[in-house]
Amino acid sequence: MQILMDLGQLLSQNLLLLLGLTAILGLMVGSFLNVVILRQPKRMFHQWREQCQLLLSSDNSGSSSEIINNVSNSTTTEQTPPGFVKQRSFCPNCKHQLSAVDNIPLFSYLFLRGRCRYCKQSISLRYPFTEMLTALVSVAIVWHFGYSAESAFGLVFSWVLIVLSGIDIDHQLLPDDIVLPLLWAGLLLSLAASGVSPQDAIIGAAAGYLSLWSIYQLFKLLTGKEGMGYGDFKLLAAIGAWLGWQMLPLVVLLSSLLGAVIGGLLLVIRRKGSQPVPFGPYLATAGCVAFLWGDQLTGLYLNYFRL
pLDDT band at 266 (very low <50, low <70, confident <90, very high): confident
Q: What is the mean pLDDT of residues 137-141?
A: 97
Residue 129 has pLDDT above 70, yes or no: yes
**What global pTM score does this model have?**
0.88
Q: What would the pLDDT profile of 158-210 be if each residue is shown by its tens digit?
A: 999 999 999 999 999 999 999 999 999 999 999 987 789 999 999 999 999 99
For the chain, domain boundaries:
89-123, 128-306
The count of other CB atoms within 10 Å of the CB of residue 17 is 11
Apex CA 228: angle with CA 46 and CA 125, to 5°? 60
Q: Which residues pair with 115 in a beta bridge?
A: 122
Determine the Cα–Cα distance for residues 195 and 243; give it in Å rounded to an integer: 8
CA 281 to chain centroid, in Å, comes to 8
pLDDT score, position 66 = 56
Rounded mean pLDDT, 54-69: 62
Lowest mean pLDDT among 71-80, 83-92, 139-148, 260-269: 71-80
Q: 3-state DSSP call for residue 90?
A: strand
Contact 139, 23 (CB under 8 A): yes
Instruction: Compute how many other C-beta atoms are within 10 angstroms of the C-beta atom of residue 42.
Output: 13
**Predicted confidence band at 73 (pLDDT cuts at 50, 70, 90)?**
low
Say what the pLDDT of residue 142 is.
Answer: 96
Length in residues, the chain: 307
Q: Give pLDDT, residue 238.
A: 98
Between 291 and 81, where is the model more confident?
291
Q: How many CB atoms lie within 10 A of CB 189?
A: 20
150-156 contacts: CB < 8 A, separation 24 or more? 150/194, 150/195, 153/189, 153/194, 153/242, 154/291, 154/292, 156/185
Query: Is the pLDDT assigned to residue 276 strictly greater than 80?
Result: no
